[in-house]
């Protein structure tokens, strides 16, 4: 199995045209922005990538394009989660065929697993379709509605999934998070997924994180990590507060639609979101820009402010 991932891993947006079709030609620019800004890899077709709103063929094409432009030193993790187990297995097998770094899946969110054993059985089927790739469980109860302790998941899955690498932990149960980090002497890679409380995770031992705001605010989070690593907690706390303000502003404008708007603001237009999400209106875009200016976003963002 591959080594634990460290540093910031972005969850990139899926670039789309005005009619909702995918713009694969924009992915290279996304990759250049991220790798040039110190981001260590990408987690594609997840929540930020609107993976559950994409067709199977779109997800296959997106994975191929990201792997083609990423290069060997920029890990690509493919979210293969799907309501249909067969389609998840198709995505997993394809990810192995094109040589990505790892795969991940979330719990199904319509017919939900009754407990840990059923969740592990579901994940084991998907992992078996890509037996050469590290497998991560994508823990995001806010969207799946599946709330189970990840420590119990690791205990059960370690016996059933030979390729189990760890968890993308997008939840605020920091007790469970720390226990997962310590499980079996730190054997598993527990990647933190809540940007607004990254500093808390660092204090508990996190060394890798996956997040949506790393697409455009990686320098801010690198400052948090650097300050923490050098023992400068005053600076780390100050910078984390700035990140909290950024996330708060984005949430006020719809979260993911606001994030896509921000990408255009810094010169990497990722287009609209898909229904049922709503793309920001011109007035909302103007007000979002003013809020970003107010909190000093353009002093630390990646790229540039588009004219």
Residue 260 annotated in active site: no
> Which tokens sit at 244?
């909290």
Residue with tokens 């709330």: 147
- Which residue out of 136, 137, 138, 228 is catalytically annotated? 138
Grouping H, G, I as helix, E, B as strand and the rest as coil, residue 146 is coil
- Which residue out of 29, 136, 137, 168 is catalytically annotated? 168
Give the separation between CA 74 and CA 72, rounded to whole angstroms.
6
Residue 168 annotated in active site: yes
Q: Where in the sequence numbering do the catalytic residues fall?
A: 138, 168
């Amino acid at each position: 199995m591959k080594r634990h991932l460290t540093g910031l891993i972005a969850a990139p947006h899926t670039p789309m045209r005005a009619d909702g079709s995918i713009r694969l030609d924009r992915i290279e620019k996304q990759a250049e922005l991220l790798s040039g800004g110190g981001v260590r890899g990408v987690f594609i077709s997840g929540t930020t990538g609107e993976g559950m709103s994409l067709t199977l063929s779109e997800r296959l094409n997106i994975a191929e394009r990201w792997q083609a432009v990423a290069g060997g030193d920029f890990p690509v993790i493919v979210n293969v989660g799907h309501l249909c187990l067969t389609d998840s297995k198709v995505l997993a097998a394809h990810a192995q065929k094109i040589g990505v770094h790892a795969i991940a899946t979330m719990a199904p969110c319509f017919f939900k697993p009754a407990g840990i054993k059923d969740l592990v059985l579901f994940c084991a089927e998907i992992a078996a379709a890509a037996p050469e790739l590290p497998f991560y469980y994508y823990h995001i109860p806010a969207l799946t509605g599946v709330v189970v302790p990840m420590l119990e998941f690791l205990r059960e899955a370690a016996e059933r999934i030979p390729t189990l690498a760890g968890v993308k932990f997008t939840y605020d149960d920091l007790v469970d998070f720390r226990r997962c980090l310590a499980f079996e002497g730190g054997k598993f890679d527990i990647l933190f997924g809540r940007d607004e409380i990254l500093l808390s995770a660092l204090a508990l031992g996190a060394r890798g994180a996956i997040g949506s705001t790393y697409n455009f605010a990686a320098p801010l989070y690198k400052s948090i990590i650097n300050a923490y690593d050098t023992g400068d907690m005053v600076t780390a706390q100050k910078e984390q507060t700035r990140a909290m303000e950024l996330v708060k502003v984005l949430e006020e404008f719809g979260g993911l639609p606001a994030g896509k708007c921000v990408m255009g603001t810094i010169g990497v237009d990722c287009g609209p979101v898909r229904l049922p999400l709503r793309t920001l209106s011109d007035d909302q875009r103007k007000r979002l820009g003013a809020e970003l200016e107010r909190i000093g976003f353009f002093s630390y963002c990646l790229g540039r402010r588009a004219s």
